[in-house]
């Protein structure tokens, strides 16, 4: 239990750990992984859902009804759906994105993987992604679980997040640094 607590913290971490431990005890970690993927995609793609869980104008009962409807629609497991209901009734459904991240971290740790988020200015080829995955795996001493997304505003380069460490090689960040240096000269 202390190992899982070190991976997560705060209220979101306690919710994530509770669901993770329950599903682990019941042998449902694969189901939990599928539920987390569905919820993650929903939060990422649905502006309406983000609004329903994040806006203080909705009453707790309305949020509970919304997450119940969504849970049934995307076919979430009963444990996951119960957690969402509890969070909505307690007025904490707005922390769902952090709960998802914490559960992801717990699942990766269980599989002896390290989560790697890659934010790139351009699409990476399969060869580039594979090479990056092998390099990070070698450095971390664990299998790298890659999550790649595109952000054209970076101009060029990429941001690599491995756990709490971040490596920023983007042109955008280099231009900001240069701009700050030029301001200091004046």
pTM, to two decimals: 0.72
DSSP 8-state secondary structure symbol assigned to residue 58: S
Alpha carbon distance 37, 104 (integer Å): 9
Q: pLDDT digits over 43-102, tens only?
A: 989 999 999 999 989 999 999 999 999 999 999 999 999 999 999 999 999 999 999 999
Q: What is the pLDDT of residue 2?
A: 43
Which of the listed CATH numbers 3.40.50.150, 1.10.520.20, 3.40.50.2300, 3.40.640.10 matches domain 2-108? 1.10.520.20
Each domain of the chain, given as residue ranges in start order, spans 2-108, 113-185
């Amino acid at each position: 239990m202390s190992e899982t607590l070190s991976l997560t913290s705060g209220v979101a971490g306690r919710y994530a750990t509770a669901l993770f431990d329950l599903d682990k005890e019941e042998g449902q970690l694969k189901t939990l992984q599928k539920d987390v993927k569905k919820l993650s995609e929903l939060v990422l793609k649905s502006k309406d859902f983000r609004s329903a869980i994040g806006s203080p104008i909705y009453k707790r009962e309305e949020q509970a009804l919304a997450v119940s409807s969504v849970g049934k629609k995307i076919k979430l497991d009963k444990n996951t759906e119960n957690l969402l209901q509890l969070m909505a009734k307690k007025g904490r459904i707005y922390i769902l994105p952090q709960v998802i991240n914490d559960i992801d971290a717990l699942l990766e740790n269980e599989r002896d993987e390290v989560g790697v988020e890659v934010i790139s200015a351009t699409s990476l080829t399969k060869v580039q992604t594979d090479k990056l995955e092998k390099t990070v795996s070698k450095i971390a001493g664990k299998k790298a679980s890659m999550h790649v997304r595109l952000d054209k505003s970076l101009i060029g380069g990429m941001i690599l997040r491995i756990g709490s460490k971040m490596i920023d090689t983007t042109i955008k960040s280099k231009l900001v640094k240069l701009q700050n240096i030029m301001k200091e000269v004046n």
